[in-house]
Copies of this chain bind each other. A is one copy, B any other.
């Protein structure tokens, strides 16, 4: 920077002004400074910048690598953050790199706020984080923590899916649970409520699982084993999310079960996996772009107005009917 200043015949402060696009520099000087900087190959150093100005204007995003829905969200986070003048830093939680570690990395890089995509951490951890900094949780509700929250109305999504299935004549509808996964608890509750509402309480069954393909495969195996033991297959399965649904489909199709003729499957997320299936996965769409925008806006607004209370955004999901759901094997029989 000093070099640029000298070569352009101005002071460092002036160079600083030019690079911050601040008023107080003549047009001519401005151009000269930029030209010289380009020649020398000077680019402002972010670390020093952050240090000097106290604020980093950087949002940290923690996500789970492999979760395709998260990449959809990230795609939406970048432009919205840029629009509001914020930088974005990504930190992935993976096998062997815990969420805590990922978040720690973000904080030590001076992120002013953290956006957590489908966090799986302890509520206590999240609350503490919320006290320490501005935090937004996407997809996972954290009851009493000081954390903004963006999610889709899980209940509504599940209800739409269930109504769709019941309308198709399904009665033996099973739900694969998402365990501690984001949204699972709400989905499970909504499933139970829907079964009750349709008078299918006796048929209700929640199979424990989680939001991975493996879980779907396992459940598939379980159901097949039960069938071989005499218990009939369910006619429809509401999976915990798309990945789980995909695993289930794989296991069933391999065993000769035809979807949707023998059994219907509904996923959740409408991650870009959904339309990959040859027949297309019927699923509940969450508007990732909109969720991302809300998350960013919440973070930024809490940043600019520090004592503001955390808020909650609930977006309406929408059932997307594709090829994996069809009439119940027994044919329609209105309950």
Interface residues of A (CB under 8 A from B): 41, 43-48, 50-51, 56, 65-66, 68, 71, 74-75, 78-79, 82, 87-92, 94-97, 105, 107-110, 132, 213, 246-247, 249-250, 252-254, 272-273, 275-280
Residues of B within 8 A of A95 (CB): 75
Whole-angstrom distance between the alpha carbons of A169 and B79 in the complex? 50
Residues of B within 8 A of A275 (CB): 213, 250
| Copies of this chain, tallied across the complex | 2
What would be 28 A-B contacts, judged by CB atoms less than 8 Å apart?
A41-B132, A45-B51, A45-B108, A46-B47, A46-B108, A46-B109, A46-B110, A47-B48, A47-B51, A47-B56, A47-B109, A65-B71, A65-B75, A66-B68, A66-B71, A66-B272, A71-B71, A78-B92, A78-B94, A79-B96, A88-B105, A90-B92, A109-B109, A213-B272, A213-B276, A250-B277, A273-B273, A278-B278
Distance in angstroms from A71 CB to nearest chain B CB is 4
The answer to whether A276 and B247 have CB atoms under 8 Å apart is yes
Residues of B within 8 A of A74 (CB): 65, 92, 94
The answer to whether B278 and A254 have CB atoms under 8 Å apart is yes
Residues of B within 8 A of A48 (CB): 47, 51
**Known contacts A94-B74, A105-B87; is-contact A110 B66 (Cβ 8 Å):** no
Contact of A90 among B56, B91, B278 (CB under 8 A): B91
Residues of B within 8 A of A279 (CB): 253-254
Residues of B within 8 A of A78 (CB): 92, 94, 96-97
Whole-angstrom distance between the alpha carbons of A50 and B50 in the complex? 11
Whole-angstrom distance between the alpha carbons of A97 and B247 in the complex? 32
